[in-house]
A = this chain, B = another copy of it.
Amino acid sequence: MQQLSFAQRYDEYKQAVETTLASLIPQQLPDTLYEPMRYTLLSGGKRVRPVLAMLACDAVGGNGMDALYAGIAVEILHNFTLIHDDIMDAASVRRNRPTVHVKWNESAAILSGDGMIAIAYQTLLRSPDLTRLRELIEAMNTGIIEVCEGQALDLEFQDCATIGLTQYFEMIDKKTAKMLELAVKVGGIIGGGSGTQIEALCRYAQTAGIAFQVQDDWLDITADAAKLGKTIGGDILEGKKTYLIIKALEQRDSLPDSDRTLLDEFLQKRGLSAEYIPTMQCLFEQNGIFANARYEVERLTHEAHAALDALPDNVGRTFLHEFATMLLERTH
């Protein structure tokens, strides 16, 4: 039997996720509750989290398909956070389409997000083997709480002039990395992984997750708008304290006068209007901030790869290795 390539395995798992998701959210009343769920969950996306769960399940010696529902549970949680975060960030576009609170209204966005949390737990319960149910539920609980902490920190940071890189990394660890950790954790539990193996998977997902967010910050201002599915430089418009901004602020005193003024204005006005985006791009480029971001992403990806050494040498582990590389190389 010929071994599947990483890309083939990814496609196979992603396809299983799409098919299952389509049948999962009931086409039932009330419309204002279930339509936003279907709209959000069936709008594509890379399905990073469920595929990660399935690969983690393989990597500890399980059968990846057994982690399908657990992985989808995490995907549903991830999408709930997108809907609620979009309200809080007043974001109007996601994946090239209006956000839920814009297309429907804020109440529909709050409610459908709430309902998705319960549907995520419900989906987890469809897993074929629930002997470690308590561990699975605990992982879900902690994952949700930490992602809420991360979003709360993110919002608090918007009102706070002096955020350092340590605080930034703590925030994105919770806001972004924890959902990836949750994915590999439920996958690892369902695959029968040992405590040590699950810890290794979590370290892998944590470092890959932080790399993922730094990459996101970088792509927000360097990517192709159509590919990204939203406005380029959105973080600048919203006044977000991204890796790039925090790194630039760290070097503030050694920057040229014009760059210092620009950064101060960004802080004072909590964001800059669209015409300043090219100037900010130049600032990041000329002061090596883009290079710093790339370096950081590569360093973290290397750490993620290293964490995998604690796992048995099998094709699942190899695919997790390739997965982290894929995240590093993505352009949107």
Contacts and interface: CB of A to CB of B under 8 A. Distances in A.
Interface of A: 30-33, 80, 84, 87-88, 106-108, 110-115, 117-119, 121-122, 125, 130, 133-134, 137-138, 140-145, 148-149, 151-153, 155-156
Contacts of A141: 118-119, 121-122, 125
A153 B148 CA distance: 27
Contacts of A145: 115, 118-119, 122
Interface of A is mostly: helix
Contacts of A144: 114-115, 117-118
A156 B107 CA distance: 11
Contacts of A138: 122, 125
Contact of A121 (B88, B140, B151): B140
30 contacts: A30-B153, A31-B156, A33-B152, A84-B114, A87-B110, A88-B106, A88-B107, A88-B110, A107-B155, A108-B152, A111-B155, A112-B148, A113-B114, A114-B114, A114-B117, A115-B144, A115-B148, A117-B118, A118-B141, A118-B142, A118-B143, A118-B144, A121-B121, A121-B141, A125-B138, A125-B141, A130-B134, A133-B134, A133-B137, A137-B137
B137 A33 contact: no
Contact of A156 (B32, B87, B117): B32
B32 A111 contact: no
Contact of A151 (B88, B111, B125, B149): B111
A30 B149 contact: yes
A53 B272 CA distance: 53
- 8 smallest CB-CB distances across A and B, nearest first, come from A118-B144, A33-B152, A115-B148, A30-B152, A88-B107, A122-B141, A118-B141, A118-B145
Given A30-B152, A149-B33, A153-B30, A140 B118 contact: yes
Nearest to A88: B107
A156 B84 contact: no
Contacts of A122: 138, 141-142, 145
Nearest to A77: B118
B117 A152 contact: no
A152 B111 contact: yes
